[in-house]
Amino acid sequence: MPYSYSNAERAQILVEALPYIKKHSGKIVVIKYGGNAMINETLKQQVMEDIVLLWHVGVKIVLVHGGGPEINDLMKRLGKKAEFVDGLRVTDKETIDIVQMVLAGKVNNTLVNLLQMQGGNALGLSGADGHLIKCKIKDPRLGFVGEVTEVNEKPVLDLLEKGYIPVVSTVGCDDQGNAYNINGDTAAACIAGALKAETFILMTDVPGILRDKDDDKTLIPAVTVAETKQLKEEGIIAGGMLPKVKCCEDAIEKGVNNVIIMDGRVPHSILMELLTDEGAGTMVTGE
């Protein structure tokens, strides 16, 4: 949905989008943004533009972000080797300091600034603010990697009520003053679940769930939780898609209406999904 349309074309798009705007206005949409989809500066700006547009038409957007590549980058600059076990970063004391600096500092602040440059009213917070995400140690071998024990959604609801776009970094807390590194997808799913969001959008670097068999890489546009189980058994959902689909299932179980796995590298995919017939990515629903 480029912005290089004539006024007449733009008007047509608006007329077509109107029923969708009515459908989503006032509803909570949680967007998980991060990974490779967040590296490209032009794309990042476009995603923020889309978020502000949706906010202007009354959608209650909550932006939850990761920043794994940015953490890797600072660790490298500091001469520290990044280590992962089952996709989770081994997080010692020095690493959790770096994670806080990057996620709650640089990345969060940059996204808030970009949203505000586009005319949005954004407010950044980490999982420690207002006890938003409480954690415990997930596995002592991983250090300060957090397993979410509780989400206090009230501060986010208060910000939405006051008309802000909450921008949440996935750093968790406990009652002893520790900070925790939480996987971005997992934290976002927990927040979406606690908010009972209408839609939870998980942006990644593939078009969605693909029927990746032999030479067939077709996108599965919609799938139910029961069908995902079947796709896992068939080995179609595998690798990095397994924990992603688990996040979808958890969010739906907690009351999210639908989850969309979409390609964050495709310009304006959020608008395509929410405001057009076409949609984008794979929609996961309860039934």
Ligand X SMILES: Nc1ncnc2c1ncn2[C@@H]1O[C@H](COP(=O)(O)OP(=O)(O)O)[C@@H](O)[C@H]1O
Binding site, annotated residues: 67-68, 89, 181
Helix%, strand%, coil% for the chain, nearest 5:
45, 25, 30
* Rounded CA Rg of the chain: 19
If binding is defined by CB under 6 A, does position 223 make contact with ligand X? no
If binding is defined by CB under 6 A, does position 206 make contact with ligand X? yes
Nearest distance, CB of residue 239 and ligand X2W, angstroms: 14
3 state SS of 126? strand
Spatial contact of 69 and 37, defined as CB atoms under 8 Å apart: no
Nearest distance, CB of residue 264 and ligand X, angstroms: 8
Q: Residues binding ligand X: what is the number (CB under 6 A)?
A: 14
| Binding-site member from 74, 101, 123, 210 for ligand X (CB under 6 A) | 210
Measured CA to CA, the distance from residue 76 to residue 82 in angstroms comes to 8
Measured CA to CA, the distance from residue 123 to residue 190 in angstroms comes to 20
Residue 145 interaction partner, one of ligand X, ligand X2W, none, beta carbon < 5-8 Å per kind: ligand X2W
Catalytic residue among 50, 129, 185, 250: 185
The H-or-E segment that residue 166 falls in is: strand 165-169
Q: How far is CA 210 from CA 1, 215, 252, in A?
A: 23, 11, 20
Per the annotation, the verdict on 68 as an active-site residue is yes
| Binding-site member from 73, 92, 147, 212 for ligand X (CB under 6 A) | 212
If binding is defined by CB under 6 A, does position 134 make contact with ligand X? no
Residue number with the shortest CB distance to ligand X? 240
Catalytic residues: 32, 35, 68, 185, 244
Q: List contacts with ligand X2W (CB under 6 A).
A: 34-35, 66-68, 71, 88-89, 99, 145, 170, 181, 183-184
